[in-house]
Amino acid sequence: MYRGKRVSVVIPCHNEEDGIAEVIDQMPDCIDEVVCVDNCSTDNTAQAATERGARVVPESRKGYGYAHKAGYAAAKGDIIVTMDGDGTYPPDSLPLLLYVMFEENVDFITARRWYSKNGDTKNPIRLLGNAVLSGTMMLLYFKFIVDSQSGMWMFKKEILADLDLTSDSMALSEEIKIEAFTHPGIRSFEMPIYYGERIGVSKLNVWRDGLYNLFFLFKKRFMLRKKHARRPAVAATPTPAPAPEAEVSEHRAGGVG
Ligand SMILES: Nc1nc2c(ncn2[C@@H]2O[C@H](COP(=O)(O)OP(=O)(O)OP(=O)(O)O)[C@@H](O)[C@H]2O)c(=O)[nH]1
Ligand SMILES: [Mg+2]
């Protein structure tokens, strides 16, 4: 609980039996529940999560986006936080993110992986891929988001109804940021965090996922254009002219019956 609001952490997991236990063990006291979405694991992920007190939600359709959406539907919190089940995102940064969310009245915060405390640098191919994807996203959407591929974000559950999440794959990560940052009624923010070393085997297919995510940025831009084109232009709607005073009072008088 944080300032009277329940906080759920949603963790999509595909074969993360080594990492999930460590991630859950590091949860700070302000977290009310951990929802581990077991996405077609063939190892002991579900058992490891249950033993640590997490609620395990099975998702039989394989995909990062499917797993996230199943987790959001199952989460009971007023605030939802996401991270991987692999130890790369720091649970101890959650109190600070929550503090900023409340003090600044922000609806959506995405965590930018800033640097590793133990000095590890990421694989140069991945750094380049992330730079290309984030740069393309900035150019297409005019939003300054440095880490478009981060898997850690936090949002008020009430904004979910305003987010049109179409992706069932890894592209959900960029899509949710695009939806939040381009929505005029949602206050969004990017905050730096430390990142840690990955526990267990990466599920990312760098070339396949990277190229698909690049394609998805263009597809989503086109989808948003069509959506905005369908919206009625508010300014063009003629405002009805006020009825002459005599007519109004006559109508009111007659309306009572
Ligand atoms: N790639 C992928 N991840 C999934 C899927 N379902 C659940 N996940 C989980 O989603 C999280 C993200 O996958 P990762 O392999 O960590 O991908 P990444 O964070 O881009 O790559 P790393 O930096 O190597 O961790 C992990 O907790 C996975 O176990 C899926 O279908 N595909
Ligand atoms: Mg990861």
Q: What tens digit of pLDDT does each residue of 100-134 get? A: 999 999 999 999 998 887 777 778 899 999 999 99
Cβ < 6 A, ligand 1 pocket: 12-14, 16, 39, 62-64, 67, 84-86, 88, 151, 170, 198, 202-204
Neighbours of ion ligand 2 (CB under 5 A): 84, 86, 88
Higher-confidence residue: 170 or 252? 170
Going along the chain from its start, the domains and CATH numbers come out as: 7-231 (3.90.550.10)
Q: Is the pLDDT of residue 244 over 50?
A: no
Q: At 107, which amino acid appears? A: D
Express each pLDDT in 52-83 by its tens digit.
Answer: 999 999 999 999 999 999 999 999 999 999 99
pLDDT tens, position by position, 20-54: 999 999 999 999 999 999 999 999 999 999 999 99
SS3 for 22? Answer: helix
pLDDT tens-digit readout, 206-226: 999 999 999 999 999 998 887
Residue 231 has a pLDDT of 64
C-alpha 48/C-alpha 21 separation (Å) is 6
DSSP state of 238: P
State both tokens at 147.
Answer: 């880490």
Give, using CA atoms, the residue closest to atom 24 of ligand 1.
202
Q: What is the pLDDT of residues 133-160, one digit of tens each?
A: 999 999 999 999 999 999 999 999 999 9
Check whether 167 has a pLDDT greater than 90: yes
Q: Please give the model's pTM, rounded to 2 decimal places.
A: 0.89
Please name which of 47, 64, 43, 52 lies closest in space to residue 21, comparing C-alpha atoms: 52
Q: What's the rounded Cα separation, in Å, for the pair 130 and 51?
A: 35
Q: Tell me which of 86, 134, 201 to substitute to probe ligand 1's pocket, judged by most ligand atoms within 8 Å of the beta carbon.
A: 86
Q: Which atom of ligand 1 is nearest to the CA of 59?
A: 6
Q: What is the pLDDT of residue 256?
A: 28
pLDDT in the model for residue 232 = 61
Please give the distance, rounded to the nearest whole angstrom, from the Cα atom of residue 257 to the centre of ligand 2.
69
Predicted pLDDT at 224? 85
At residue 255, the pLDDT reads 32
Mean pLDDT of 246-257: 34
- Kindly give the distance from the C-alpha atom of residue 8 to the centroid of ligand 2, in angstroms, as a whole number: 19
Ligand 1 nearest-atom number relative to CA 62: 31
Distance 139 CA to ligand 1 centre (A): 26
* Residue nearest ligand 1's atom 5 by CA: 64
